Amino acid sequence: MKLITVRIPTPLRPFADGLDAVQAEGETVRDILYGLRDSHVGLGQRILTPEGELRRFVNVYVGNANIASLGGLDAAVNDGDVVSIIPAVAGGMGQASSRRLENLRASIREIDPAEAARLQADGAALIDVREQDEIAAGSPKGALHMGRGFLELRIEDAVPDLDQPVLTLCGGGTRSLFAAEDLQRLGYRNVYSVTGGFNRWKNDGLPFEIPRTLSPAARERYSRHLLMPEVGEQGQLKLMDAKVLLIGAGGLGSPVALYLAAAGVGTIGLVDHDVVDRSNLQRQVIHAEDRVGTPKVESARAGIHALNPEVTVQVHETYLSSDNVDELFAGYDIVIDGADNFPTRYLINDACVKHGIPNVHGAVFRFEGQVTVFWPGREQGPGPCYRCLYPEPPPPELAPSCAEAGVLGVLPGIIGLLQAIEAVKLILGVGEPLVGRLLYYDALSAGFTELRMDRDPDCAYCGDGKAFPGYVDYQGFCAAS
């Protein structure tokens, strides 16, 4: 590979971290420019078409020769060559644009970065209106990131109070004026533009950070999430940092695993001791015919990675027991109960109570299902645990397994999706989780019923002032009921 220098002209430097030249490697000009597109997305978008061809208002030179005379993008380069990118320029800002900026400066108050930092400390909202590739080089601490293309759509969710001071900031102080004008049109009454933009903010020694951002591939994959103010980039990063443990890779665990993986949950743990049976395929949609006979956790891992290879899948091919539950639950944020037997359900509950982990519970029987969130440790209003709702399990004749009573294949999909939604809400911290509420679904009548559940203050496991009594013989406990 040849090492060359690429000269970046002034109009394109904001999209190359402000650099006037960068080092690149390749055998041809195409290699060099494609490498620039990968390392500086905004720069690549402005010199190359989506098809990878040179835009018609850009010329590229190797030394003093235009690549048009050297074979185009396939022109060869040698060690030490200098490649120059030369876009068309108009010689400066036109008179109309200059007058427009003069008018904006007459109607919008400009403040220096130091005053902006003081106002931000006093509660003003600082809005960085630069694009993602610019923000990747740094942004003031605590700034809200809203590119100009989505500012008007998102600002009201981020700053609902029209009287709250709002500060707009760009790279050099020009685009922020236009952004401030847009906010004034929306009714914001205290809008300021930060003169000199982020370049002056940084040069003045004010605090900034290199924000964690999504990769281009992740931005493409989760683009519909990024459009939602309840999710956005920060919410997507929360999902990618989350760790969710699924107990059971069967009827309920299948849709939960697939949709959490699709949503971008970063780590999914799977606990199941069973192997894939052909009778599972009627409802356990994460498995496939060619994986019959393989461990369910390995089959589920294959299904998850086929959908989203970026998800970390931690498999535990084992029975959940009192001996291993503490170790298995360690490090997870949420537990999804997709078990098919009462001993496991009581054990899940007790371990979640002990560790303060929310337990997203789901259960199915023929045409009926139920979903809730057991979370006695919730700070914003604790709810009941499974033992508050069911102090003891029913007798066997009232609780046959799916293998004995059957289950509509589609039903676990519905209940599992509801469990996945509850998990996503918990991760994002949005909405109202099903804490203290049981959602009951009857497929035959296509009806949902919400039932209130109260916490038992005398519950042996989550009651007020109760010490954790320890794990029990869950097989014996359920058999004795």
The residue with tokens 């006037």 is 20
Evaluate whether 159 touches 125 at the Cβ level (below 8 Å).
yes
d(CA 256, CA 278): 20
Of 423, 88, 45, 419, the closest CA to residue 243 belongs to 423
Of 390, 391, 376, 443, the closest CA to residue 412 belongs to 443
d(CA 200, CA 57): 30
Bridge pairing between strands 368-374 and 447-452: unpaired
How many Cβ atoms are within 10 Å of 68's Cβ, its own excluded?
13
Residue 191 pairs in a beta bridge with 166
Q: How far is CA 214 from CA 234, 237, 443, in A?
A: 9, 8, 40
Please give the torsion angle defined by the CA atoms of residues 187, 192, 196 and 200, in that order, rounded to the nearest 10 degrees.
-120
CA dihedral sign of residues 128, 132, 134, 137:
positive
| DSSP state, residue 468 | P
Which one from 170, 352, 388, 402 is the annotated catalytic residue? 402
Task: Please write down the long-range contacts of 362-366, taking CB distance under 8 Å and 24 or more positions apart.
Answer: 362/252, 362/336, 362/337, 362/338, 362/415, 362/416, 362/418, 362/419, 363/415, 364/251, 364/252, 364/402, 364/407, 364/411, 364/412, 364/415, 365/402, 365/405, 365/407, 366/405, 366/406, 366/407, 366/408, 366/411
- The values of phi and psi at residue 314, to 5°, are -105, 115
d(CA 167, CA 110): 9
Residues 6+ apart with CB under 8 A from 302: 291
d(CA 133, CA 219): 12
> Can 478 be counted among the known catalytic residues?
no
Q: Could you write out the DSSP letters of every residue in 87-156?
A: E---SS--HHHHHHHHHHHHHSEEE-HHHHHHHHHTTPEEEE-S-HHHHTT-EETT-EE--TTTHHHHHH
- Catalytically annotated residues: 402
